Structure 1
Amino acid sequence: MNDFYKGTPSYSVGHLDAAIEHLEQVLSLEGANSLFSQTYWRARVVQALATPGLAPCQYARLQRLLERIAEVRAMRKNSRGCERSIHESRADTRARRLPSA
């Protein structure tokens, strides 16, 4: 994952606040909800974290974005587990209803 932008120059300090603001806007909307977007946007945040001269407040904002992406990923993983459990429960219920031969 960290090699996604390997060789790509990081953001300049002068443009970093605008880039962080853009990342915050996108990730507060639909950007963190798509599996493709999670990978893409996480790579963009990691790229921004590699910017030389990063201020502590910028670092904190970027870390919050990584946490947001991780939370969404965990929620998606948990919801898939719940769906699987529901389907397994239904299959068990159907199996119990079938008369024995």
Structure 2
Amino acid sequence: MGAIKLALYPRNQIRKSDVARAVSVPARITILKEIIAEGRTNGLYLAEVLKLSQPTIHHHLMTLKSSGLIKGDFFNESYYWTLNHECEDELNALKWFLED
């Protein structure tokens, strides 16, 4: 597959594509749901709840972070993840994905 020529597309379409890619995996939707339910959480907790390895959780968290949907803060020798409320429009658009 060839490279995507980002210059050909409006910025808002690229943003929508980034967010869609971030929620294209069921584990990432579950991670977002856990972050919403807990308010903030760390990777070890998510690995335990989702029954996935810590490196796999890390990969999913980095994908969500690069999309801008979550942010991490270092506290007590661990990163804690929260929703990035600067992306409120995107998070509101994802409500259907995040419903039970």
TM-score (norm 2): 0.29
TM-score (norm 1): 0.29
Structure 1 or 2: more strand by fraction: 2
Structure 1 or 2: more helix by fraction: 1
Q: Which has the larger radius of gyration?
A: 1
